[in-house]
């Protein structure tokens, strides 16, 4: 979704939102404290038309055409609701099985990643029994000093090992904090962009941070932290450079994560996959910067 503008009055925002809907432009209005009512457009191909209509509305908000079209939108919404009800009887949509836990809908990709992580955690007794999940580590072979590390299983087709270390967690606090951050950051990206964008981000961030951690310290690592830091970096930079993307992190949130990032290098909390954190954060920030270029 993309933000096209804001209106101070709720009634005006809802009237214009209904007018857009009647014109075939899917939209959503949200109250933003201190800024009024934000107008979000779902289809980016219709941004220019929607922005032009908003400009005309601001010049004559009391125009009769807006009232007429707003009333017509009510009938269209009712028809859409009936069609959706019929569709839902034929197809179970998992996204409706879980209520939102944050300000954003609990997305299907976010839920799937959390569910797999929790299942692996219990299967391995919070990481203390590696035998049941040995196939999820990036490799089962330890490297000797001076030996160039390799990935024999991956070379023989077990390519999932490049991804699956993100599902391995060691201890209750490790998985709890990672899943809480994944819930918030992942849900924001799914709501504002798409499940496909989140899935691609997770895949690239996971593979790159896992490989970097492996070549730095060997195969004994796991966790979603590299991905979480990557999502943080992506949202942070994309939101700063492209505010209309709807991605936003409060500065205090960013500072807290950066402080935690630096504290991990002190090893006060034990051995931590700092390389995965650093690569994930850097890659996410670069992705956020590059993806914002067409909108600046």
Structural domains of the chain sorted by starting position, each given as residue range(s) with its CATH number in brackets: 2-91 (3.30.70.2350), 108-295 (1.20.1540.10)
Q: How confident is the model at residue 96 (pLDDT cuts 50, 70, 90)?
A: very low
Q: Print burial letters for 112-143: b (CB count within 10 Å at least 16), e (below 16).
A: ebbeebeebbeebebbeebeebeebbbbeeee
Q: Write out the two tokens for 181.
A: 């951050």
3 neighbors 38 (Cβ within 8 angstroms)? yes
Q: Residue range 57-64: average pLDDT? A: 87
In 98-168 the beta strands, taken as DSSP E runs, fall at none
Q: Which of 65-69, 83-87, 144-148, 212-216 has the highest mean pLDDT?
A: 212-216
pTM: 0.65
* pLDDT score for 161: 95
Q: Residue range 219-237: average pLDDT? A: 94
Higher pLDDT, 77 or 110: 110
Q: pLDDT tens across 268-291, in order?
A: 666 788 899 999 999 999 999 999
Residue 93 has pLDDT above 80, yes or no: no
Q: Which of 32-41, 115-124, 249-258 has the highest mean pLDDT?
A: 115-124
Distance, in Å, from the CA atom of 181 to the CA atom of 177, rounded to the nearest integer, reads: 6
121 neighbors 169 (Cβ within 8 angstroms)? yes
Higher pLDDT, 161 or 218: 161
Share above pLDDT 70 across residues of the chain, in percent, rounded to a whole number: 86
Q: How confident is the model at residue 97 (pLDDT cuts 50, 70, 90)?
A: very low
DSSP, collapsed to helix, strand or coil, labels residue 5 as strand
Q: Which of 40-44, 203-207, 246-250 has the highest mean pLDDT?
A: 203-207
Distance, in Å, from the CA atom of 254 to the CA atom of 281, rounded to the nearest integer, reads: 11
Q: pLDDT tens across 160-198, in order?
A: 999 999 999 998 999 999 999 999 999 999 988 899 999
The kind and range of the H/E element at 206 are: helix 195-217
The pairing of strands 2-7 and 36-41 is: antiparallel
Distance, in Å, from the CA atom of 289 to the CA atom of 296, rounded to the nearest integer, reads: 10
Q: Write out the two tokens for 102.
A: 């944050």
Residue 90 has pLDDT above 80, yes or no: no
* 93 class by beta-carbon count within 10 Å (0-12 exposed, 13-18 middle, 19+ buried): exposed
235 neighbors 249 (Cβ within 8 angstroms)? yes
Distance, in Å, from the CA atom of 195 to the CA atom of 83, rounded to the nearest integer, reads: 23
Report the Cα 73 to chain-centroid distance in Å.
Answer: 31
What DSSP state is assigned to residue 194?
-
Share above pLDDT 90 across residues of the chain, in percent, rounded to a whole number: 43
Q: Write out the two tokens for 212.
A: 């970097």
* pLDDT score for 149: 64
Q: pLDDT tens across 115-161, in order?
A: 999 999 999 998 889 899 999 999 987 665 555 567 889 999 999 99
Residue 73 has pLDDT above 90, yes or no: no
226 neighbors 210 (Cβ within 8 angstroms)? yes
Q: How confident is the model at residue 106 (pLDDT cuts 50, 70, 90)?
A: low
A 10 A CB-CB count for 76 gives: 14
Distance, in Å, from the CA atom of 115 to the CA atom of 25, rounded to the nearest integer, reads: 35
Chain length of the chain? 296
Distance, in Å, from the CA atom of 211 to the CA atom of 151, rounded to the nearest integer, reads: 10
Distance, in Å, from the CA atom of 237 to the CA atom of 249, rounded to the nearest integer, reads: 9
Distance, in Å, from the CA atom of 264 to the CA atom of 278, rounded to the nearest integer, reads: 11
* pLDDT score for 9: 86
Radius of gyration of the chain (CA): 23
Q: How confident is the model at residue 246 (pLDDT cuts 50, 70, 90)?
A: confident
Dihedral-angle region of residue 137 (phi above 0 means left; psi in -120 to 50 means alpha; beta otherwise): beta
């Amino acid at each position: 979704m993309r933000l096209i503008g804001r209106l101070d009055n709720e009634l005006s925002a809802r009237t214009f939102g209904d007018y857009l809907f009647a014109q075939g432009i899917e939209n959503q209005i949200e109250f933003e404290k201190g800024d009024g009512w934000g107008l979000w457009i779902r289809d980016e191909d219709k941004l220019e038309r929607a922005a032009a209509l908003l400009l005309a509305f601001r010049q004559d908000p009391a125009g009769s055409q807006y009232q007429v079209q707003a009333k017509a939108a009510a009938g269209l919404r009712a028809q859409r609701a009936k069609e959706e009800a019929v569709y839902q009887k034929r197809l179970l949509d998992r996204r409706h099985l879980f209520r939102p836990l944050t300000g954003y809908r609990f997305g299907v990709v976010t839920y799937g990643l959390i569910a797999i992580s929790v299942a692996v955690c219990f299967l391995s007794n919070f990481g203390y029994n590696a035998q049941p999940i040995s196939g999820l580590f990036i490799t089962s072979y330890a490297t000797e000093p001076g030996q160039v590390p390799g990935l024999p299983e991956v070379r023989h087709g077990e390519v999932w090992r490049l991804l699956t270390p993100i599902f391995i967690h060691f201890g209750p606090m490790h998985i709890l904090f990672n899943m809480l951050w994944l819930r918030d950051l992942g849900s924001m990206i799914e709501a504002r962009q798409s499940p496909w964008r989140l899935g691609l981000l997770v895949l690239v961030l996971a593979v790159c941070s896992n490989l970097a951690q492996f070549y730095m310290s060997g195969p004994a690592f796991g966790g979603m932290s590299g991905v979480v830091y990557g999502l943080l970096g992506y949202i942070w930079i994309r939101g700063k450079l492209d505010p209309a993307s709807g991605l936003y992190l409060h500065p205090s949130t960013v500072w807290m994560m950066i402080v935690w990032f630096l504290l991990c290098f002190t090893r006060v909390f034990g051995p931590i996959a700092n390389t995965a954190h650093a690569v994930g954060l850097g890659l996410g920030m670069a992705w956020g910067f590059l993806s914002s270029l067409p909108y600046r």
